[in-house]
Amino acid sequence: DGLFLLYLITRKGRRKKVSIFTTMKVLFFSAFLPFLATSFTAPAAFTNRGSAVSRAFAERQNVKSFDRSAIVRSMAEEPNGTFEPKKVIVLGGDGFCGWPTSLYLSDQGHDVVIVDNLSRRNIDNELGCNSLTPISTPEVRVEAWKEVSGKDIKFVNLDVAKDYDLLVQLIKDEEPDSIVHFAEQRAAPYSMKNSKTKRYTIDNNVSGANNLCCAVIDSDVDAHIVHLGTMGVYGYGTSGGEIPEGYIDVILPGGREANILHPAYPGSVYHATKCLDALLWQFYQKNDALRITDLHQGIVWGTNTPQTIKDDRLVNRFDYDGDYGTVLNRFLMQGAMGVPLTVYGTGGQTRAFIHITDTARCIEIAINNPPAAGERVEIFNQIAETRRVRDVAALVAEQTGVDVNLLPNPRQEAAENELDVSNEKFCNLGLEPITLDEGLFDEVTEVVKKYKSRCDPKKILPASFWNKKRAEECASLEDTKVEIKAE
């Protein structure tokens, strides 16, 4: 193995070196796969993950005094030996989801290249609000990861929406098996802040998605695109029942049955870009046979993962402000600081949630299970559970002892909605998702208390409004003063 090499001709005509041993394994499993199909079970590398988390939480109940960070460390897994390691480019790999995902993929043995233009850090300067956690530069981050893991991650400063020629050349040079696309402006409130941020969100997100498809075609590299989308493409409670994974059965005029892409119902400019992305994926798959997986993700909560907790220089960003702070993280931060929780409207909005650790796991599952050439865009609903916002607030308030404040809603949305979502595909591939747990709440609270001095109370309240009517209804917030409780 390693002495004898074959040259396989890929779909695009590129030659790729593989060992004769690897080729024999492929032929062996090709011959026997039909016999195995009826009794297939998910790989242990996936099925053991959720149970490991559950065991950690169960053990916690028997310990009166414990290290909160140990809960996060307990989620670390043995390297995944089920699938061959891949070369993966992570676009937006310096961000809230991109950074921990990059570390996780590297930890699992994949060869990772991070691409980022640091736009999110520039938006920090624009908003005058930094991450609650002090995040290191990308160069320091990858150096620290090398020190603690012995593994290399390459960092490339590149703008996916603007530096097209550089993107094409990068794909040619690296010849990735997969390209994970996080490189989009990810905050709905920021996308609704003003005409400048609306235009930027459209230009950056849609151009970036289109550039990526064109670059894969022009580079002549058969790379699998994995895109992080959002549950918001479906709207909330507009399907008349359980939201399926991407495609919905319909009856057309004349009684004709069809399975079509779920109708789009965006609630912000940000969500609209994800809907436009989805149409681009459909077109380029149909026209150029690109292999694409679109992940419709719920609201992410949590901060650390088993990888980011290894060194302070690896810490993930934590956004607490009204524009970028996700709802549960905002609640946990406010509770830890003794600030009443900021619930918008009645709090009757039902939303989907997923822990940051599961985000990384789901990305790897998608990478390891690409659609075959010619297959339609694969779509997963990347969520753990759904909860009503006021119920989540009550859970945090009970744990932290703070009050709940109902504020005028800055968003144009229904005051109440139901949300039933299918996440069958990831579960069938072995994911046992992490649900909202007070043990993990404690971990986030510990992070908040550690960096409490970095919080600017003026940034906690909403600062972006969906339209003039919403801005007028929220005008009273201008006189609201947020005070952090002294210890």
Which residue numbers are catalytic? 230, 270, 274
Backbone torsions φ then ψ of 214, nearest 5 degrees: -60, -40
Which residues share a beta bridge with 243?
421
* 340, 405 contact by CB (below 8 A): yes
CA atoms within 13 A on the CB side of 41: 4
* 400, 336 contact by CB (below 8 A): yes
CA dist 112 and 153 (Å) reads: 5
Residue type, position 230, single letter: T
Which residues share a beta bridge with 380?
295
CA dist 92 and 98 (Å) reads: 6
* Exposed / middle / buried, residue 165 (Cβ in 10 Å: 0-12, 13-18, 19+): exposed
For the four alpha carbons of 466, 384, 325 and 332, in that order, the dihedral sign comes to: positive
For tokens 């681009």, the residue is 280
Beta strand 404-407 with 5-9 is: unpaired
* Exposed / middle / buried, residue 37 (Cβ in 10 Å: 0-12, 13-18, 19+): exposed
CA atoms within 13 A on the CB side of 300: 30
Name which of 288, 282, 297, 269 is nearest 205 in CA terms.
269
CA dist 259 and 63 (Å) reads: 51
Alpha helices for 14-163 (secondary structure H): 20-36, 44-60, 68-73, 98-107, 119-127, 138-149
Name which of 345, 239, 221, 204 is nearest 291 in CA terms.
221
Beta strand 292-297 with 224-230 is: parallel
3-class DSSP assignment, residue 27: helix
